[in-house]
Amino acid sequence: MPSEAYAVVLGHTGSDPDVRTTQDGMKIARFSVAVTDKTKTDELTTWYNITAFDKLAASWPVVNAKKGDLIMVRGRPSLRTYTKKDGTQGHSLEIRADRITLLTPKKVEEHSAIDPVSVYAAPSRDALEDDIPF
């Protein structure tokens, strides 16, 4: 039986999404989301790097999101290890989004779609074939 991991992140965008188009026409959006956990004595912020592809990268929630907006992202999590400039190892929490929901109230009210605005990425052909029970 295959196994999968999904993460749901609810937080504030750390930057406006950077949407680019590859040479073959595929859109890729990248942005960060901050999630802050507060206790009586401490505050810890965890940053997640979000990547969205194709139709999801060009969707209304991504195109209209701005720094500081409340957003929910669902997708596949991964931990990337890299070498910093000082030679030490760093770690990056990354999520390949398959659903993005913009939750900033003013922006949702301005949009005429269903409230809140949410967009799903179409499942890959491989994912569809894996679910066939025969």
Measured distance CA(40)–CA(86) in Å, rounded:
34
**pTM (two decimals):** 0.75
| pLDDT reported for residue 99 | 94
Under a CB-based contact definition with an 8 Å cutoff, are residues 98 and 124 in contact? no
What is the identity of the amino acid at 130? D
Average pLDDT over residues 52-72: 92
Q: Look at residue 117 and tell me whether its pLDDT is greater than 50.
A: no
Measured distance CA(65)–CA(71) in Å, rounded:
8
Residue written as token pair 């999968």: 4
Under a CB-based contact definition with an 8 Å cutoff, are residues 71 and 13 in contact? yes
Average pLDDT over residues 47-56: 94
Enumerate domains of the chain plus CATH numbers. 7-128 (2.40.50.140)
Q: Dump pLDDT digits (tens) for 63-116.
A: 889 999 999 999 999 998 989 899 999 888 999 999 999 988 765 555 544 444
Instruction: Give me the phi and psi of 76, to 5 degrees please.
Output: -90, 125
